[in-house]
Amino acid sequence: MLHKMHTKKNKIREDNEVYLAGFEYWLNNKGLSKKTINTHMSNVEFYINEYLCYVTLDVSHGPHEINGFLGNWFIRKAAWSSCAHIKAIASSIKKFYAYLLEDKVVEQDDYDALCCTIKEYMLDWLDEMRRYEATLFEDYYY
């Protein structure tokens, strides 16, 4: 069973490399700076190769997993999590799924659901981040 899970994760990571290469090409064609492209690539790579792969899901499931990622997992698992990073990662993921929509990897409904979730839950995610930071501060100083 463990071998089968490991094989599935390897397949997901291999597929992700193809998507990431296509996404980088797509971003280059948009005329973005190398620094901006690198930021988007890093943010998306973390989402698809760390989180989605961790829960053993391919990119097609990503639009429906964003709330669990930005509202919980990222806040608690990424040492660099912050409100600014939540906003930046949400922006990168929206761009990535816009690319996947154009490339017909995901459906319009999936992309729309992603955008709706980000819009609807962003303030909740930022509040959760602030609560988490306050708890860390309290734990450290008291």
pLDDT band with cut points at 50, 70 and 90 for residue 135: confident
C-alpha to C-alpha distance for 34 and 28, rounded to whole angstroms:
8
21-72 tens-digit pLDDT = 999 999 999 999 999 999 999 999 999 999 999 898 999 999 999 999 999 9
Question: Structural domain boundaries of the chain?
Answer: 2-141
Q: What backbone phi and psi angles, to 5 degrees, belong to 81?
A: -60, 140
Residue 123 has pLDDT above 70, yes or no: yes
Task: State the DSSP string of 78-141.
Answer: -TT--HHHHHHHHHHHHHHHHHHHHTTSS-HHHHHHHHHHHHHHHHHHHHHHHHHHHHHHHHHH
